[in-house]
């Protein structure tokens, strides 16, 4: 990742944190938090489906836009649990160099 990309992720995280407890009539992020983590998670799911649709039948621009929406909503869902995109990136770092098949097999079945 470039420094610019990391800076974008840091700014996004900071913006989301700054909107916690804000006025839901003035901030979409505050509205997501106000409606609770279940609502934020459903919004993430909607954006994920829209991303799949764009990947299958949309333009590159549509796919990129939907991917950005997924990243944004993922950051909100993580923040609703006091986690950040940095936590998810740290997990990717931990998995680096490990076969995806091996990594999945190592997970404890639920």
pLDDT digits (tens, 9 = 90+) for 47-83: 999 999 999 999 999 999 999 999 999 999 999 999 9
Q: Tell me 81's DSSP state.
A: T
Can you read off the two tokens belonging to residue 38? 């279940």
User: Distance between CA 77 and CA 33 in Å, rounded?
Assistant: 9
Predicted confidence band at 110 (pLDDT cuts at 50, 70, 90)?
low
For the whole model, what pTM was predicted? 0.84
Mean pLDDT confidence for 99-107:
73
Q: What pLDDT is recorded for position 104?
A: 73
- Sign of the CA dihedral 71, 73, 78, 79? positive
% of residues, the chain, pLDDT over 70: 96
């Amino acid at each position: 990742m470039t420094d610019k990309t990391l800076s974008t992720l840091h700014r996004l995280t900071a913006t989301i944190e700054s909107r916690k407890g804000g006025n839901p009539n003035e901030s979409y992020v505050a509205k997501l938090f106000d409606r609770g983590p279940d609502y934020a998670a459903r919004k993430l799911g909607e954006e994920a489906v829209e991303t799949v649709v764009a990947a299958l039948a949309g333009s590159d621009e549509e796919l990129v836009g939907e991917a950005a929406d997924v990243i944004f909503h993922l950051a909100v869902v993580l923040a609703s649990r006091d986690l950040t995109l940095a936590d998810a990136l740290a997990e990717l770092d931990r998995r680096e160099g490990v076969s995806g098949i091996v990594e999945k097999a190592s997970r404890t079945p639920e």
